[in-house]
Structure 1
């Protein structure tokens, strides 16, 4: 298949969306498909390595999220280019510039189109005039308006699918968790780890609590910092390592300094993707107090690194983080310090939970993710061509799923739109 991915966020940007797309692209290429990425310019992109597979539109930083970008020109050129690539399907990953362009191109050329809804914007209204302009019901109406023109939608978790249904969207919805490339989190040499420890001022004997991801208000990193003094009271040499960057990093650094903890709470900043696996191995426990996740990629990465996870209970992680088995959960921020102390003081129990987590996350491998995405594309293309009364030209050997083989008899998709969802592991 010829597959077009339209996204405002892509490598070298670091985010859950960029990671998801990178893994998807790699897995689809392994399966013999041609994957073309349509995205925004980035001053740090390696254009030479992207030749012929990544096409970038001139862009500027997004006003509300300066670390993200939106396209401002080059639309007509892209429209002509897509006409030459003979795309079989378009997959959008943004509700902004490239997402709108993907929809326009799909309509112009009669290409089936699917959208992954990555971000629950009701959790981010504080970035826009501190939530005084856009209200949750307005965002839900906007979401419904954007999503209704797609052949199908992909939700990374049941939490997102339920949100889309709550927005009043009655479409074919697939729940497809993003896969994890397990090989990226294999153990590295102790020499390498010691080098990084030395650069950060961490002793090999220091218990390390790791937080990794976007350093933003909605991640509730404040709660982790507030819990840390209780940990220090039990383990004075403990370190809190907050890896990543974002709009509140400066505030949190100031808060740590005001608490007199600047030597115990460390902020190394954003880390290149190819080094992320190494930083997970610095930790003795991974922690998150966020309830705004839509994919839980960092949790899975920590589990793939055989690192015990302490997380705030949330629907987005309930399928793979089972309290006391594959992780430790807490409901109130007041419970966090006790959970962290328990993990650090009970290494045998922590090891067992970490091993259980590693076994659990193998269900969410990158290979399974690529297989499921491929089957989903085939189903959508088959349905679209049947409904449009176009000849089916996909190779029979590619029709791998039961749904795809049955879909040729469909004459209308009206009976599969409302409430149609499938668990895809």
Structure 2
């Protein structure tokens, strides 16, 4: 198949969406498919390595999410290009510029179209005038309006599927979790971990609590930071390492300074994707207090790295993570410090949960993810052809019916005219 993916977010940008797309692209190529990426320009992109497979439109930072970009020109060029590539399916991954373009092109060339709904925007309203412009009901209407024209939708979790249904979308919605590239999280030499620790000012024997991902309000990283004073009372040699970047990193760093914990809470900033596996293994446990996840990729990556996961209970993980079995869960932020201390002081239990988590994540492999999506492409493609034939037949019947009506009207008119002339 010739597959076109349209996204505003792609490598070298670091996010769950970019990771999901790169994993899918890699697995589809392994299956022998041709995958073309249509995305925005990025000053850090390696254009020479992308030639022939990644096409970028001129773009600027998005006003509400400066670390994301939005296309501003070159739309017609892409429309002509797609016409030459003979795409079998269009798969969009954004509701903004490239998503709108993908929809337009799919309609123009009558190409089957699929959309993955990656982001629960109701969790992000605070970025837009502190939530004073858009309301949740408005977001639902916008979501329904954007998604309703697709042949099928992909939801990474049941939580997202339920949200789409709540928006009034009754079309085909497939729950397909993003797979994990397990090979990328194989154990690294202990010397490498010790080196990273020393570079961060951490002694080899000190325990590390790891937070990794986008540093933003909706990730609730401040809950983990607020728990650290209680943790340090019991475990004075514990460290919290926060890996990643985002709009509130400086704000959180200042908060840590105000608490006098800059030696115990360490911010690494953004880390190259090739190093992520090593940083996961830096931690004695992985923690997330977020309830805004649509994919839970960081949970699965930590589990693939054979690390125990502590996560806040949420619908996005309720069918996947079992408390004290495949992960550790907590309900309230006030319980976080106690749970962190329990895991760090019960290494045998933590190791057993880590092993169970690793076994679970094997079933969520990148290979299976690629197969699931490819099967959906095939299914939607067949359905699209049937609908196209049905519409063509319907159109033919309508034209035939109209023609017969015109003929009937014309005949009746002729008869009436004939009768009228006879009366004369």
TM-score by length of 2: 0.91
Query: How far did residue 320 of structure 1 move?
Result: 1.9
2:34 corresponds to? 34
What is the DSSP-based 3-state SS (H/G/I as helix, E as strand, rest coil) of the residue aligned with 1:319? coil
2:363 corresponds to? 363
Alignment of 1:122-201 (within 5 A): 122-201=122-201
What is the DSSP-based 3-state SS (H/G/I as helix, E as strand, rest coil) of the residue aligned with 1:315? coil
CA contact (8 A) 1:303 1:354 kept: yes
Q: Distance in 2 between matches of 1:322 and 1:182?
A: 21
Query: How far did residue 65 of structure 1 move?
Result: 0.2
Q: Give a deviation string over 1:19-75, Cα, whole Å, max 9, x none.
A: 000000000000000000000000000000000000000000000000000000000
Q: Distance in 1 between matches of 2:220 and 2:191?
A: 33
Q: Distance in 1 between matches of 2:53 and 2:59?
A: 18
Q: Distance in 1 between matches of 2:300 and 2:55?
A: 30
Query: How far did residue 99 of structure 1 move?
Result: 0.1
CA contact (8 A) 1:157 1:294 kept: yes
Alignment of 1:94-113 (within 5 A): 94-113=94-113
Q: Distance in 2 between matches of 1:10 and 1:279?
A: 22
What is the count of residue pairs matched by the alignment?
Answer: 391
Q: Give a deviation string over 1:305-352, Cα, whole Å, max 9, x none.
A: 010001100011122210010011010001111100000000001000
Query: How far did residue 215 of structure 1 move?
Result: 0.2
The reply on whether 1:261 has 2:295 as its aligned counterpart is no
2:395 corresponds to? none
2:347 corresponds to? 347
1:21 corresponds to? 21
Structure 1: tracts of 5 or more residues without a match: 391-425
Query: How far did residue 283 of structure 1 move?
Result: 0.1
4+ runs deviating over 3 angstroms: none
1:10 corresponds to? 10
CA contact (8 A) 1:320 1:361 kept: no
Query: How far did residue 275 of structure 1 move?
Result: 0.7
Q: Distance in 1 between matches of 2:191 and 2:354?
A: 23
Q: Give a deviation string over 1:250-301, Cα, whole Å, max 9, x none.
A: 1110111111100000000011111100000000010000000000000000
What is the DSSP-based 3-state SS (H/G/I as helix, E as strand, rest coil) of the residue aligned with 1:281? helix
What is the DSSP-based 3-state SS (H/G/I as helix, E as strand, rest coil) of the residue aligned with 1:12? coil
Q: Give a deviation string over 1:136-187, Cα, whole Å, max 9, x none.
A: 0000000000000101100000000000000111110000000000000001
Query: How far did residue 192 of structure 1 move?
Result: 1.3
Q: Distance in 2 between matches of 1:296 and 1:316?
A: 7
Q: Distance in 2 between matches of 1:387 and 1:168?
A: 22
Q: Which of 1 and 2 has greater Rg?
A: 2
Alignment of 1:5-404 (within 5 A): 5-389=5-389
Q: Distance in 1 between matches of 2:166 and 2:272?
A: 37
